[in-house]
Amino acid sequence: MAVWRVPPILCKVAHRPFDLPAEPAQYLQSLAQADRPFFLDSAAQHPHWGRFSYLGCDPLLTLTFTSPGPARLELSDDLPGHARHRDLAQNPFRALEQLSNALTLANPSAPEQFSGGLVGYFSYDLGRYIERLPSLACSDIALPELCLNLYDCWAAYDHTTGRWSLAALEFPRGSWLDRGQSPTQKMDRLAALLTADTTELTDWPTTGHSTDSPQCNFTPEQYLRAVRRARDYVAAGDIFQVNLSQRFTVDLQCHPLQAYLQLRRISPAWFAAYIQMPGKAILSSSPELFLRRRGQTVITRPIKGTRPRRAQPDHDLRMRHELSKSIKDAAELNMIVDLERNDLGRVCDYGSVRVTHHRQMEEHPTVFHLVSTVTGQLAPHTSTVDLLRATFPGGSISGAPKVRAMEIIEELEPTRRSVYTGAIGYIGLDGSCQLNIAIRTIIADGPRAHCQVGGAVVADSDPDAEYQETLDKGLAMMAALRNMPLSQLVFK
């Protein structure tokens, strides 16, 4: 196999203000018919964690990896040259490194904003290219394990100021990424798409019928048995905790964009995303930040501890109090914070890793969570790919110790996780990154939609309570897929 040596290229980013009267979700349907539209969506809004949203379409190139490899670049038809596909390294992280090292941004903008880069997802299953893991679970979702798109134009919305802007990348004339368009022409084209009359969504492949209830990769009895088996591993000293999940599958009755817009209405989140590919889509309403890198500063915010909300003041007050006093949930979070400190310590300056906030109570539309914030200063010459290799997948959705927990997940869960509990977001050309933990995430795979939910199993876990927690976490996704108000959904 010939590995393509990616030609190095220096690019610049140009910006200009843009005037639109509404927030980004109102314009997403305008891009749905374009090639591979994306929406990184701060739906819940927060001045620090959820300030900006970004959307765009028609990427210059797509980097994908499907086991056993190699990674592959798919180039846009309007780029120079004849070869539309190029093979990169056999290891997906090495391939990402090849591409990232070749692309340099000469004039990055404000450090808190996206200045151009690769947008997409990392599946949980990429963890086996970092650690040696058994191969036991069935891989039955036909998505690449890695899919990242390089966009040369995008729109940004600042939720704090209510202002829009457009941005575009400029490449040297005649280079392999030069479409022959100026940044102004690229921004004009995107502006025209966003302001055009909204067209009806084209038909999405559906089964034409709907099952009465979701299909699950576990029966309730099997899931309870798996929780008990996980507790046995804790009792034997193999692990302190493991995240055990189950997956629900339903027939898709609408375009996934419609399901996403319903999901963000029911359960808006700071790190939400909609990523569309031909015949497939990722719909994420994740409240959890996996990694944010700005310069040499890196942040992770693990979540552990969940209680359901019911929009009933007495119930919600009781749940808040119960979660705040829970010794079990506090212990779970403490373990994962220690794990994240250790992971960041692999690539950060000695003594720089700190827990800046611990056990904060956060309110989300359907649940309460306990969250901690861990920060560090990356050692000199540490790349974002180095950071990923040290931390992926996140400890909050694997367990502690991480590698042994991942081995147990592979044994106890009957199917591979795919995008669920991987990461969605961007890797910036300026070295920055922002990636969520892909929880509260729906995978639209042709006519079927998969949503997976899990929780941490520890020594004193009650199997029935663990099972119920997965149902509580899945409510918003099932309501979105069935296009009904959350209050009307009975999820058994």
pLDDT, tens digit, 9 for 90 and up, residues 157-183: 999 999 999 999 999 999 999 999 999
In the chain, the percentage of residues whose pLDDT exceeds 70 is 96
d(CA 202, CA 179): 28
Helices (H) and strands (E) in the chain, counts: 10, 25
pLDDT for 197: 84
Helix (H, G, I), strand (E, B) or coil at 428: strand
Q: Which residues contact 432 (CB under 8 A, 6 or more apart)?
A: 108, 111, 114, 115, 117, 293, 294, 295, 384
Instruction: Indicate the burial class of 21 (C-beta count within 10 angstroms; 0-12, 13-18, 19 or more).
Output: exposed
Beta-strand (E) ranges in 404-461?
Answer: 423-428, 433-437, 441-445, 448-457
CA 94 to chain centre: 20
Structural tokens at position 392 = 């992926």
User: 482 falls in which pLDDT band (50, 70, 90)?
Assistant: confident
Measure Cα distances from 265 to 25, 29, 199, 437 in Å: 10, 15, 21, 20
Mean pLDDT computed over 453-465: 93
> What is the per-residue pLDDT across 197-237, written as a single tens digit (0 to 9) for each?
887 887 787 655 555 578 899 999 999 999 999 999 999 99
Measured in degrees and rounded to the nearest 5, phi and psi for residue 315 equal -60, -50
Q: What is the dihedral of CA 457, 290, 308, 39, to 10 degrees?
A: -140
Cβ distance 284 to 291 under 8 Å? no
CA 448 to chain centre: 19
Is residue 352 over pLDDT 70? Answer: yes
pLDDT for 131: 95
Cβ distance 88 to 63 under 8 Å? yes
d(CA 181, CA 154): 15
Measure Cα distances from 408 to 416, 451, 487 in Å: 12, 21, 36
Is residue 373 over pLDDT 90? Answer: yes
Is residue 328 over pLDDT 70? Answer: yes
Q: Which amino acid is at 453?
A: V
**Which residues are part of the catalytic machinery?**
288, 304
Cis omega (within 30 of 0) on the bond before 183?
no
Taking alpha carbons only, the member of 411, 420, 403 closest to residue 230 is 411
d(CA 127, CA 438): 14
Is residue 44 over pLDDT 50? Answer: yes
> What is the per-residue pLDDT across 409-444, written as a single tens digit (0 to 9) for each?
999 999 999 999 999 999 999 999 999 999 999 999
Measured in degrees and rounded to the nearest 5, phi and psi for residue 312 equal -120, 110
Helix (H, G, I), strand (E, B) or coil at 332: helix
Mean pLDDT computed over 79-96: 93
Instruction: Give the helix/strand (H/E) hosting 445.
Output: strand 441-445
> What is the per-residue pLDDT across 98-113, written as a single tens digit (0 to 9) for each?
999 999 999 887 778 8
Q: What's the predicted TM-score (pTM) here?
A: 0.95
Helix (H, G, I), strand (E, B) or coil at 314: helix
d(CA 296, CA 278): 36
Provide the b/e sequence for 225-262 (b: ≥16 CB within 10 Å): ebbeebbebbeeeebbbbbbbbbbbbbbbbbbbbbbbb
Helix (H, G, I), strand (E, B) or coil at 85: strand
d(CA 484, CA 486): 6
User: 489 falls in which pLDDT band (50, 70, 90)?
Assistant: very low
Structural tokens at position 447 = 């006519």
Mean pLDDT computed over 9-25: 95
pLDDT averaged over every residue in the chain: 92
User: 478 falls in which pLDDT band (50, 70, 90)?
Assistant: confident
Handedness of CA 343, 372, 435, 396 (dihedral sign): positive
Is residue 490 over pLDDT 50? Answer: no
Structural tokens at position 97 = 């490194």
Cβ distance 198 to 29 under 8 Å? yes
Give the DSSP per-residue string, 126-153.
Answer: GGGGTS-----SB----S-SEEEEE-SE
CA 393 to chain centre: 11
Beta-bridged to residue 271, according to DSSP, are: 286
Cβ distance 268 to 285 under 8 Å? yes
| Exposure of 172 in the CB half-sphere (CA atoms within 13 A) | 10
